[in-house]
Amino acid sequence: MKSEQVFEILMREQTGMLLTYLRAIVGSPAAVDDIYQETMLTAWKKLDSFDKTRSFGPWLRGIAKNHALAHFRCAKRDMLMCNDAILEYLDQQLLQIELSSGDSWQEKTKVLHQCIEQLPEKYQQVVRLRYLEERKTAEVQQHVDISREALKKRLRRAKKQLFQCLQQKNILMAMS
């Protein structure tokens, strides 16, 4: 099999995970797209240096992390999650999900969707609009007719319940 084909297969398998990672650390959808594209180009250029005895996902996230850090240095903005310990924790969580059963990212995140279904309706609604439909905060705020601060609190509470649900199902580890 040609290296182009192998790369295409690996990227197809990793796209959902990589976008999830970038969305967790970068606030702007446009920046996520830019960093994703830069990561793909770098990975393609450095594919020959990839150690085939190791997992592809962490290698790819390392490239994405470097591009995200460079982006924020140039833009002089803060990442949503810029602490090295938090980035390492996020990488470990994604690796744990990556190693779980299922062939695709959608199959591997099925438990997350089950946890979303268990949320109270008002939390489900904002999570779906903001994260699954990727609507902007202002759109979600207008749709549910609450203040910006109320929306932020609702999302924070929803994420806390999702985190607890995923911990109970042994999908996520507690942060030390």
Q: Which of 83, 96, 88, 113 is nearest to 173 (CA)?
A: 96
Say how far apart CA 84 and CA 173 lie, in whole Å. 17
Domains of the chain as residue ranges with CATH: 1-101 (1.10.1740.10), 109-176 (1.10.10.10)
Say how far apart CA 65 and CA 150 lie, in whole Å. 31
Give the per-residue pLDDT at 174.
Answer: 59
Give the per-residue pLDDT at 78.
Answer: 46
Are the beta carbons of 95 and 59 closer than 8 angstroms? Answer: no
pTM for the structure as a whole: 0.54
Give the per-residue pLDDT at 64.
Answer: 93
Give the per-residue pLDDT at 144.
Answer: 93
Nearest 5°: the CA angle 129, 101, 23 is 35
Q: Mark the ranges of the chain whose per-residue pLDDT is less than 70.
A: 1, 74-108, 171-176
Q: Which two tokens stand for residue 102?
A: 């299922």
